[in-house]
Structure 1
Amino acid sequence: MTSDKIKVHFTDNYLINPTNPVTINLIGAGGTGSKVLTALMEMNHSLIQLGHTGLFVRLWDDDIITEANLGRQRFAESETGLYKSVALINRANRWTGTNWKAETQKFKLGESERLPENFSANIYISCVDSVSARFEIADILKRLNNGRYYADRPLYSLDFGNSQNSGQAILATIGTIKQPNSEKYETVDHLPFITDEFGDLLKESETNDDTPSCSLAEALEKQDLFINSTLAQMGSSLLWSLFRNGLTENRGFFLNLKNFHSQPIKIA
């Protein structure tokens, strides 16, 4: 009697042996995005030390830093009034000597509906607040999946989302990723978008209150102090495993920080 093979997804070879830095569009520079950027700084340095070409990050956010952002997000009082994306990228570049870029606009199509060149990247990490923005990002990524082979071709997306004490991070492929033959594992070449798999649940969870918080106390009523940083660390660890291990058995996780429970989402 033989046991069932473990289902895994093997990392696209370009992430393992790239000719240029792996390009990442990080969408959202708030509570989660600001901390994911810190993780990407650490990841970039570690990859380069291991002989990899490293990462090139473009951070998208049109929000301005307010007093309510201080403390829970990666901002100082002296940065109040600046664009979040600019403050974070300037700090990252000074700290690590990178040449990463800030985009002071939303990651969305303009009136022309054309896809700008700076939309292209190998990995898309979304850390946005609204469900509608997540659906819009997914629609853009589907349009980018044209099957052509080029350096910045879209490969993966990693979506973060949370409520006050709980959240999730889910990895998806943009199209299919060619898998090697394996006698040990059952390989899976396609991982669905969160909007395709949990779209109805996302719509049910949508709230109509998009009013910005005026104070840290008010912000903490919406998102507790450590939910964003915990999600950022765990989700970044999933991304790191793609680079370091070359495969993954998990494509994400659900987290409840109130009862300290985490549930992995297995490759299916």
Structure 2
Amino acid sequence: MKNQNARTTKPAAHIIPKELLQPYNPVTVNLIGAGGTGGQVLTALARMNHSLIALGHAGLFVRIFDDDTVSPANLGRQLFTTSETGQFKSVALINRINRFFGTNWKAETYQYSRKTTIEYSLTSATIIISCVDTVQARFEIAQVLSQSAKNHYSRDRGMYWMDFGNSRNNGQVILSTLGKIPQPVSERFRTVDTLPLITNEFNDLMEGADQNNEVPSCSLAEALTKQDLYINSALANCGASLLWQLFREGILFNRGLFLNLQDFRAQPMRIA
């Protein structure tokens, strides 16, 4: 009897709402951070938008937030050129994407925080992607998103939060829901309507995390002692693949992964 029950247990899955799979308007995305990972994610989103439109989808509308400017230490590891030194990272990246792909995406030259997002009324987006360096920034983003999810009921209400984080050779990308996402009745799957926030699930671990990445680097060589050359792009591609699966397949069995680039190991996070 025990073996029979094990064979008949439904696999856990999260079903994506139809409004994201067949939207009338582009799906709004707030990308927070235009550094090593954020720049790679933005490029992946532009490719995804182009491909979605070719497949009959309404595509994406992306707004990127970052108040930092390009420094010589950013060149090489991040997607900037010498001619962009001194420019806002968000502006440099968005201008390049808009020229290349013909999009009309927007850059915001300030931090994504409770104060600024309320002041400029820009908290609302269907998907929020954070690529920030500090634990404090993640907790503030979580606070903004939790409050925004309670107060917004428009088509741009927050539904998903994807967070990227990494150390020198390791990283993770985790997808969360901002509240419950109604799930259809399924005979094949045990549908899960809530994916926990990273700030709740890993609260103790995050509070004890090392904050060395807060100190800016003075050179590329120094920056590479903190983050390896390809950890950002590898992690960005993994997260983009998860987001692509969300749009193309409409069902998720994993909600993220832990990546160890030194040992070339990836550990998926199963939906439970």
- What is the TM-score when the length of structure 2 is the normalising length? 0.95
Structure 2 counterpart of 1:174, from 151, 157, 178: 178
Q: 1:69 aligns with which of 57, 74, 94?
A: 74
Cα separation, partners in 2 of 1:258 and 1:174, compared to 1, 3 Å: same
**Change beyond 3 A, Cα 1:28–1:148:** closer
1:220 aligned to 2:221? no
Q: Which amino acid letter does the alignment assign opposite residue 62 of structure 2? A: V
Distance 2:64 2:35 in 1: 11
**2:138 equivalent to 1:124:** no
Q: Who is 2:198 aligned against?
A: 194
**SS state of the match for residue 146, structure 1?**
helix
Instruction: Compute the displacement of 1:156 (Å).
Output: 0.2
Deviation at 1:206, TM superposition (A): 3.0
Q: Tell me the amino acid that sits aligned with residue 64 of structure 1.
A: T
Secondary structure at the residue paired with 1:110? Answer: helix
1:14 deviates by 1.4
Amino acid at match of 1:87: A
Q: Residue 23 of structure 1 aligns with which residue?
A: 28
Cα distance between partner residues in 2 of 1:190 and 1:20: 25
Please, which moves more after superposition, 202-211 or 173-182?
202-211
Q: 1:13 maps to what in 2?
A: 18
- For residues 218-265 of structure 1, what are the alpha-carbon distances to aligned partners after superposition, in whole Å with 9 as ceiling and x for unaligned? 000000000000000001100110000001100000011011111000
Contact 1:43-1:240 within 8 A present in 2 as well: yes
Matches within 5 A, 1:105-116: 105-110=110-115, 114=118, 116=120
Aligned counterpart in structure 2 of residue 35 of structure 1, from 34, 40, 47: 40
In 1, the alpha carbon distance for the partners of 2:180 and 2:24 equals 21
Equivalent residue, structure 1, for 2:169: 165
Per-residue deviation, 1:210: 2.1
Moved more, 116-125 or 158-167: 116-125
* One-letter amino acid matched to 1:30: G
**1:84 equivalenced with 2:89 (yes/no):** yes
Amino acid at match of 1:178: P
Matching of residue 45 in structure 1 with residue 47 in structure 2:
no
**Residue type of the partner of 1:158?**
M
SS at match of 1:102: strand
Q: Compute the displacement of 1:148 (Å).
A: 5.0
Q: Please list the CA deviations of residues 84-120 of structure 1 after superposition, one character each: whole Å capped at 9, or x if unmatched.
A: 0000000010011110000000000228x94642111
CA gap 1:185/1:77 in 2 versus in 1, 3 angstroms: same
Unaligned runs of 5+ in 2: none
Pairwise CA distance, 1:209: 5.6
- State the Cα deviation string for residues 140-187 of structure 1 (Å, max 9, x = none): 110011275321111100000000000000000010100011000000
* 1:23 aligned counterpart, secondary structure: strand
Instruction: Decide whether the 8 Å contact of 1:156 with 1:173 is kept in 2.
Output: yes
Q: 2:138 maps to which residue?
A: 134
Instruction: Report the more deviating stretch, 155-164 or 3-12.
Output: 3-12
* SS of the residue 2:115 aligns to: coil
CA RMSD of aligned residues (A): 1.3
**Range that drifts further, 167-176 or 208-217:** 208-217
Which of 239, 242, 247 pairs up with 1:243? 247
Work out the CA distance in 1 between the residues paired with 2:225 and 2:187.
50
Aligned residues: percent identity? 58
Q: Which has the higher helix share?
A: 2
Range that drifts further, 164-173 or 12-21:
12-21
Stretches of structure 1 that go unaligned for 5 or more consecutive residues are none
Q: Partner of 2:133: helix, strand, or coil?
A: coil
Give the Cα–Cα distance (whole angstroms) in 1 for the partners of residues 213 and 252 of structure 2. Answer: 37
